[in-house]
Structure 1
């Protein structure tokens, strides 16, 4: 097998006249947690489905787990865990029954032992006999993760796995992901949560089916060239409404009692801040969320 678990080049996929993935090239190393970022419709889900053999690319080539992406879909899927955006197991079966069903689908010879082990690892023992439909969102996601890794895959594909889950459950979910990555599992995960993206070893930003930014969170933030000015004071909401319309201001948002103004044109931003001398302005470090909004604004400006 190649040193890369995912090694694909120039993937294209269209649905009718709409191009969804347009020349995507991606490499992901073993044990890496790679985060997929991008607006809705940017091609994240379609890419994930091509990588696990559920969709065939219109063109392009490469390997997943050392297997030909275009020819070996069933073999790839047997070694891959894929967790979709929505809970996709049976509400009217218990936690254990769902896992036993998955073990049967994969024809695992040690299915009973594998179920016992994953129930313990995911902290599901207290819920084994509970119907899946009665679980909270966080515990449903744990069950879904348990089902995805029950057959001991080498690659885990997660499509917005923690949408709608509370902060504590999200953190615990990611702790489990990092534990498994430390054991050699490769993970590709799409997310809209910036704190989750920062936990990835590398992030890839997609726009219109193309990769426009790739690197660690720090590299992506530094490479964006964003300038941030921050201020606090009275009348902050009114200032925010006014400053958004000023030249050079790409984004202006209130966080608590502070206003953050972002853009690439330092002179224009300084001029904008001088228009509100009653506020105490200072330059601040950009965050990954600032870069995410910047990329969205750039995409909208092109359209």
Structure 2
């Protein structure tokens, strides 16, 4: 049996003549929050569904929670909590009624105790009689997570769980995820948000069906070949438009009155910037790229498998 909660090699999934996931190799440790990043259509959701037994891979092998992902998919599903992108509970039932319905459908024992515990854990007790359809995005998110936790899973698979949720609700959600991980629950979460990526223990970046990079946020930045200059001050945005035309400048990212100007050839990038270093009102600082810069660079290096 693998020492990893998830340990897969060569997972491949095709739909028609399109290879959506191409030879995925991935390992996730017990009690780890593993962030799964990539652009829309990159294969994140398909990969998650193969690892939790909802889709059968066309090729590859591996284990989730010690069960074979091909031959023991039913056993995996019993011990995994899967939170989808879309809210999947009933708008015309209350919070408690939704949780009780889920517990009944899956024939759970200690049904009342499980529902009470989920309500308490996610701070839903005071709203338990409120209809789900009247909840804000953040409260719907809590309800969906509570439903995932009813059967006391060892692994949580969260597919873009904070899309459309306000910053405070996102922060509260991540505090809860870290508490769960501290208790030994493993979490695999897909996200588009860079601040959320930096909250994960390790990250995997997938683009167009291929896993391009894996490591801690600090490791991914350190391993990147990018050189980055930060240019700040009035007029930085206009300068960015000029710099985009220079050799050696691979990408320019705007942050208010600041720019990240990046390229893989440090000397050529410095030469592109040099004529503007004395521009009044602008400051120039050379340093490491941001995590977002690294991921955009990775995406640009990969071929779109749907073209």
Aligned match of 1:95: 95
CA RMSD, Structure 1 to Structure 2 (Å): 1.5
Task: Tell whether 2:183 aligns with 1:188.
Answer: no
SS in 1 for 2:229: strand
Aligned match of 1:33: 33
Cα separation, 1, equivalents of 2:4 and 2:304:
35
- Once the 2 structures are TM-superposed, how far is the Cα of residue 269 of structure 1 from its aligned partner? 1.1
- Once the 2 structures are TM-superposed, how far is the Cα of residue 271 of structure 1 from its aligned partner? 1.6
* Native 8 Å contact 1:273 1:281 kept in 2: no
Aligned match of 2:46: 46
* Native 8 Å contact 2:221 2:288 kept in 1: no
Cα separation, 1, equivalents of 2:3 and 2:233:
53
- Once the 2 structures are TM-superposed, how far is the Cα of residue 291 of structure 1 from its aligned partner? 0.8
Aligned match of 1:293: 296
Aligned match of 2:285: 282
Q: Normalized against structure 2, the TM-score is what?
A: 0.95
* Native 8 Å contact 2:253 2:260 kept in 1: yes
* Structure 2: stretches of 5+ with no match in the other structure: none
Aligned match of 1:211: 211
- Residues 28-177 of structure 1 aligned to structure 2 (within 5 Å): 28-177=28-177
SS in 2 for 1:275: helix
Aligned match of 2:263: 263
Cα separation, 1, equivalents of 2:172 and 2:122:
10
Aligned residue pairs: how many?
A: 303
* Native 8 Å contact 2:208 2:303 kept in 1: no
SS in 1 for 2:253: strand
SS in 2 for 1:40: coil
Cα separation, 1, equivalents of 2:2 and 2:52:
17
SS in 2 for 1:261: strand
Cα deviation code 1:102-144 (max 9, x no counterpart) = 1112211111011101101100112100110100000100100
Q: Normalized against structure 1, the TM-score is what?
A: 0.96
Cα separation, 2, equivalents of 1:29 and 1:112:
32
Cα separation, 1, equivalents of 2:297 and 2:131:
43
Cα separation, 2, equivalents of 1:261 and 1:127:
48
Cα separation, 2, equivalents of 1:151 and 1:118:
10
* Structure 1: stretches of 5+ with no match in the other structure: none
Cα separation, 2, equivalents of 1:257 and 1:234:
6
Cα deviation code 1:64-102 (max 9, x no counterpart) = 111111111221111100011111111111000110011
- Once the 2 structures are TM-superposed, how far is the Cα of residue 256 of structure 1 from its aligned partner? 2.4
- Once the 2 structures are TM-superposed, how far is the Cα of residue 301 of structure 1 from its aligned partner? 9.4
- Once the 2 structures are TM-superposed, how far is the Cα of residue 296 of structure 1 from its aligned partner? 2.0
Query: Compared with structure 1, are the counterparts of its residues 220 and 173 closer, same or farther at alpha carbon in structure 2 (3 Å cutoff)?
Result: same
SS in 1 for 2:5: strand
